[in-house]
Amino acid sequence: MNDITPREALNFDELGFDTAAVRAGTLRSEYNEHAEALFLTSSFCFKSAAEAAERFANSEDFFTYSRFTNPTVTMLQDRLAALEGGEACIATASGMSAILSIVMSACNAGDHIVSSRSIFGSTLNLFATVFTRFGITTTFVDPNDLDAWRAAVQPTTKLFFLETPSNPLTEVSDIRAVADVAHEAGALFVVDNCFCSPALQRPIEHGADVVVHSATKYIDGQGRVLGGAIIGKRDFVMGKVFVFVRTTGPSLSAFNAWLMLRGLETLPIRMERQSANAFKIAQWLETQPGIKRVWYPSLASHPQHDIAKRQQKTGGALVAFELHGDTPEAQRANAWRVIDQTRVISITGNLGDTRTTITHPASTTHARVTPEARAAAGVTEGVIRLSVGLEDPNDICADLARGIA
């Protein structure tokens, strides 16, 4: 590929994380532009039919067609691989298409997955309803019960799936401990690192084989575009996932990749500040009598506080809390009242934005999950998820106080 860099290529393994966040992805055109260029083109031209044939035959090394190779997307992939400490990355159109691509690349009909039960609603549905139609079954387990992971293993188990911290309750699991069980079983261990981003947690360093992201969240960081990313060893990512994405087309657009490159430049400072704001808000929520329970990994009351301290740089920017209520209906009414009384916070089904967002998971992000699966994951009608942004945390507390009072 035309890797024309103004000076010699940088080795990001030897440079700091913050340096990689702004500089990794060094591909430049013949013009040696300073900022990453946006290559809005569906295809690339060839000097001859023979060159076209040669380049299509070696598509990993040449730009041919943007469904599978585009310079702007390559720069994003290179940067994400550097940030996660992986050998290679493939970017996709959304987080869900990233998970789909991993499973379709790793499993065949008749194979089996062991997954945490505490995962995003659409991921749970993908495993429980879509894959089963193609003969891939999943056993869901309590993510903090290592015996349950072990007991769920079958001769056909090919993949372990963990989300830590989990969506929406920020349940934290020991990545190294689950990795050991996965590897004893000969399974590929996939960790969804969406809530932390590589700025706060690098699962590959703790034994994960593959890291998956909804890049829509902290990687974009400003609530603008959808995207996904798969990071891991070259033989799996380029040998299998690349071929799947090339053939089936859940590819990331160059425009979205370009925005995400901009977003990543501020990832470390956004995560630091948003985490600090979230900690302040979580501490304040714990003092509110109207609130039954608060989940935030940096709080001493969090059930996996010790694991989080070991594994994450900060508690992250997601806070979950539960409202009182004698019945599920009363809990929902209380939660909706708090949400509806906000004026500053955005009521929306997304997270990872610089603006604070508030979500009622039971009726949005986890609405299509069965009530039993929601109950097993602890997602009651009283739970509210807050994705804390860059506003003054006092303004966010005041906005929440109106409904809580």
Q: Between residues 241 and 351, which has the closer beta carbon with respect to ligand L2LWJD63?
A: 351
Query: Which of residues 135, 186, 249, 349 is near ligand L2LWJD63 by CB under 6 A?
Result: 349
CB nearer to ligand L2LWJD63: pick between 356 and 359: 359
Contact range with ligand L2LWJD63 by CB under 6 A, out of 40-48, 120-128, 137-145, 303-311: 120-128
Q: Rounded to the nearest whole angstrom, what is the least distance from the CB of residue 41 to ligand L2LWJD63 in the complex?
A: 30
Spell out the residues 6+ positions from residue 105 whose beta carbon is closer than 8 angstroms to its own.
236, 240, 241, 243, 244
User: Given the complex with ligand L2LWJD63, which of 129 and 248 has the nearer CB atom?
Assistant: 129
What single letter denotes the amino acid at residue 24? A
Stretch 140-179 residues interacting with ligand L2LWJD63 (CB under 6 A)? 167
Among 119, 351, 384, 386, indicate the residue that binds ligand L2LWJD63 (CB under 6 A): 351
Among 234, 337, 368, 402, binds ligand L2LWJD63 (CB under 6 A): 368
Nearer CB in complex with ligand L2LWJD63: 25/263: 263
Q: Residue 201: in which H helix or E strand, if any? A: none
Q: Please identify, among the stretches 134-142, 203-211, 357-365, 390-398, the one whose residues bind ligand L2LWJD63 according to the rule CB under 6 A.
A: 357-365
Query: CB of 268 within 8 A of CB of 219?
Result: no
- Out of 94, 312, 350, 380, point to the residue binding ligand L2LWJD63 (CB under 6 A): 350
The three-state secondary structure class of 43 is strand
Side-by-side strand order, sheet with 188-192? 88-92, 228-232, 210-214, 188-192, 157-163, 112-116, 137-141
Give the CA angle between residues 71, 73, 13 to the nearest 5°.
Answer: 95
CA 362 vs. chain centroid, Å, equals 20
Least distance in angstroms from the C-beta of 228 to ligand L2LWJD63: 11
What is the four-CA torsion angle of 179, 91, 257, 162, rounded to 10 degrees? -30
**Under a CB-based contact definition with an 8 Å cutoff, are residues 342 and 391 in contact?**
no
Site for ligand L2LWJD63 in 19-78 (CB under 6 A): none
Q: Which residue number, 234 or 368, has a Cβ lying nearer to ligand L2LWJD63?
A: 368
Both tokens of 132, joined, read 């089963």
Considering beta carbons, is residue 72 or 256 the nearer one to ligand L2LWJD63? Answer: 256
Q: Within 10 A of 357 (CB to CB), how many other CB atoms are there?
A: 19
User: Residue count at the site for ligand L2LWJD63 (CB under 6 A)?
Assistant: 12
Closest Cα to residue 28, out of 266, 263, 267, 261?
261
209-248 residues near ligand L2LWJD63, rule: CB under 6 A: 214
Residue 354 engages ligand L2LWJD63 in binding (rule: CB under 6 A)? no
DSSP code for 246: H
120 near ligand L2LWJD63, rule: CB under 6 A = yes
Query: In this chain, which stretch among 241-249, 250-258, 361-369, 391-399 interacts with ligand L2LWJD63, using CB under 6 A?
Result: 361-369
| Contact pick of 105, 122, 334, 356 for ligand L2LWJD63 (by CB under 6 A) | 122
Q: Work out the burial of residue 207: count CB atoms within 10 Å of its CB; fewer than 13 is exposed, 13-18 middle, 19 or more buried.
A: middle
What is the Cα–Cα distance from 188 to 347, expressed in whole angstroms? Answer: 37
User: How many whole angstroms separate alpha carbon 159 and alpha carbon 180?
Assistant: 13
Kindly tell me which of 26 and 118 has the beta carbon lying closer to ligand L2LWJD63. 118
Q: Does 121 bind ligand L2LWJD63 (CB under 6 A)?
A: yes
DSSP symbol at 60:
T
The Cα–Cα gap between 251 and 257 comes to 10
**Contact footprint for ligand L2LWJD63 (CB under 6 A):** 120-122, 167, 214, 349-351, 359, 364-365, 368
